[in-house]
Amino acid sequence: MNWGGLLLVMILLSSLVPGLIIFALPEKSNRPRTVLNLGGALFKLLLILLMNVGIYQGRHFTVRWQLLPGLELLLNSDPLAALFSTLSTVLWLLTTLYAVGYLEQSPNRRQFFGYFSICVTVTVGIALAGNLLTFLLFYELLTLTTYPLVTHRGTREALAAGRVYLVYTLSGGAVLLVAVAWLQVLAGPVEFGGPPVAASLGAAHEGQLMALFFLFIAGLGVKAALVPLHGWLPRAMVAPAPVSALLHAVAVVKAGVFGIVRLVHDVYGTQFAAGLNLLAPLTILASLSIIYGSLCALREDDLKKRLAYSTVSQLSYIVLGVSVAGPLAAIGGLVHLVHQGLMKITLFFCAGNLAETLGVHRISEMRGIARRMPVTMAAFSVGALGMIGFPPMAGFVSKWYLGMGALAADRLWVVAVLVVSTLLNAAYFLPILIKAWFTPPDCSWSEQGGRGRVETRWMLLAPPLLTALLVIAVGLLANAQISPLAWVKLIVGLEYGP
Partner 1 sequence: MADAAFWAICLVVAPLFFAISSFVRGGLAHVFGPLAAWLNALAVLGLTVSFARSGPLRYAIGGWQLPLGINFRIDGLCVLMLAMTAVTGLAVSMYALGYFSLRIGSARQMSRHEQQRLFFWPLWLLLWAGLNGLYLSSDLFNIYVTLEITGLAAVSLTALSGKPAARLAALRYLLVSLLGSCSYLLGVALLYRCYGILDMAALSRLVSPGPLLWCGLALLTAGLLLKTALFPLHFWLPPAHANALAPVSAILSGLVVKASFYLLLRLWGEVFAQVLPPAAYVLLGALGCGAVLWGAAQALLQKRLKMLIAYSTVAQLGYLFIALPLIRLDPGPAARQAVVLLILSHACAKSAMFMAAGSIFLKAGHDRIADLAGIKEVLPVSSFAFVLAGVSLMGFPPSGGFVGKWLLLGVSLAGGQWWWGMMLVTGSLLAAGYVYRVASRLLVFKAPFFSRRQAIPPVMEWSAVLLAVLAMLLGLLAGSPLELLAAGNQVFSPAGLEVLR
In this complex, which beta carbon is closest to partner 1, that of residue 151 or of residue 483?
A: 151
Q: What is the largest CA-CA distance in the chain?
A: 70
In 3D space, the residue among 385, 391, 344, 387 whose CA is nearest the CA of residue 87 turns out to be 344
Shortest CB 178 distance to partner 1, Å: 6
184 binds partner 1 (CB under 8 A): yes
Does 302 contact partner 1 by CB under 8 A?
no
- The answer to the question of residue 141 lying near partner 1 (CB under 8 A) is yes
Stretch binding partner 1 (CB under 8 A), from 40-48, 51-59, 77-85, 176-184? 176-184
According to the binding rule CB under 8 A, does residue 280 interact with partner 1?
Answer: no
By CB under 8 A, residue 427 contacts partner 1: no
The reply to whether 178 sits near partner 1 by the rule CB under 8 A is: yes
What's the DSSP call for residue 276? T
154 lies in the binding site for partner 1 (CB under 8 A) = yes
CB 172 within 8 A of CB 164: no
Residue from the set 162, 321, 333, 383 that interacts with partner 1 by CB under 8 A: 162
Whole-angstrom distance, CA of residue 437 vs CA of residue 425: 18
Terminal CA-CA length for the chain: 33
Which of the stretches 53-61, 171-179, 237-245, 263-271 binds partner 1 when contact is defined by CB under 8 A? 171-179
User: Of 28-36, 146-154, 457-465, 475-483, which segment contacts partner 1 by CB under 8 A?
Assistant: 146-154
Q: Does 181 bind partner 1 (CB under 8 A)?
A: yes
SS3 state of residue 76: strand
- 183 or 330: whose CB is closer to partner 1? 183
Question: Considering only CA atoms, which of 334, 342, 354 is closest in space to residue 394?
Answer: 342
Pick the piece of the chain touching partner 1 (CB under 8 A) from 52-60, 64-72, 84-92, 302-310: 64-72
Rg for the chain (alpha carbons), in Å? 21
Which of 19/162 has CB closer to partner 1?
162
Q: Note whether 74 binds partner 1 by CB under 8 A.
A: no
Q: CA dihedral defined by 195, 196, 202, 208, rounded to 10 degrees?
A: 160
Candidate list 88, 131, 146, 151; residue touching partner 1; CB under 8 A:
151
Site for partner 1 contains 413 (CB under 8 A): no
DSSP letters of 26-73? -TT-HHHHHHHHHHHHHHHHHHHHHHHHHHHTT---EEEEEEETTEEE
Q: In this structure, what are the phi and psi dihedrals at residue 129, rounded to the nearest 5 degrees?
A: -55, 130
* Residue 166 binds partner 1 (CB under 8 A): yes
Q: Which of 21, 104, 164, 182 binds partner 1 (CB under 8 A)?
A: 182
Residue-level length of the chain: 498
CB 352, min distance to partner 1, A: 20
Site string for partner 1, 85-114 (x = CB under 8 A): ----------------------xx------
Q: Tell me the β-bridge partners of 66.
A: 72
Instruction: Tell me: does residue 123 bind partner 1 (CB under 8 A).
Output: no
Verify binding: residue 185, partner 1, rule CB under 8 A.
Answer: yes
Q: State yes or no: residue 358 binds partner 1 (CB under 8 A).
A: no
Residue selected from 174, 408, 419, 443 as contacting partner 1 according to rule CB under 8 A: 174
Q: C-beta of 80: minimal distance to partner 1 in Å?
A: 22
Q: Min. distance of Cβ 170 from partner 1 in angstroms?
A: 5
Q: Across-strand partners of 191? A: 131
CA 295, 170, 90, 64 torsion-angle sign? negative
In sequence order, the β-bridge partners of residue 59 are: none
Q: Kindly state whether residue 144 participates in binding partner 1, applying the rule CB under 8 A.
A: yes
Q: Which of residues 2, 29, 65, 412 is near partner 1 by CB under 8 A?
A: 65
H helices of 103-155, in order, are: 109-128, 132-150
105 vs 277, beta carbon nearer partner 1:
105
Q: Which stretch binds partner 1 (CB under 8 A): 31-39, 174-182, 197-205, 409-417?
A: 174-182
Distance (Å, whole) CA 176 – CA 181: 8
Q: Which is nearer to partner 1, 17 or 178 (CB)?
A: 178
Of positions 124, 136, 307, 488, contacts partner 1 by CB under 8 A: 136
Distance CA 411, CA 326 (A): 11
Residue 1 lies near partner 1 (rule: CB under 8 A): no
Write down the least CB distance from residue 385 to partner 1, Å. 39
Taking the C-alpha atoms of residue 212 and residue 20, their distance in angstroms, rounded to an integer, is 37
Whole-number Å distance between alpha carbons of 352 and 244:
9
Cα 55 from chain centre: 22
Q: Are 332 and 411 within 8 A, CB to CB?
A: no
Burial class (CB in 10 A: 0-12, 13-18, 19+), 108: middle
- Please say which residue, 125 or 332, places its beta carbon nearer to partner 1: 125
Eight-class DSSP state of 74 = E
Position among 45, 137, 280, 378 found at the interface with partner 1 (CB under 8 A): 137
Tally of CB atoms within 10 A around 448: 9
Residues at the site binding partner 1, with contacts judged by CB under 8 A: 65-68, 71, 73, 107-108, 133, 136-137, 140-141, 144, 148, 151, 154, 159, 162-163, 166, 170-171, 174, 177-178, 181-182, 184-185
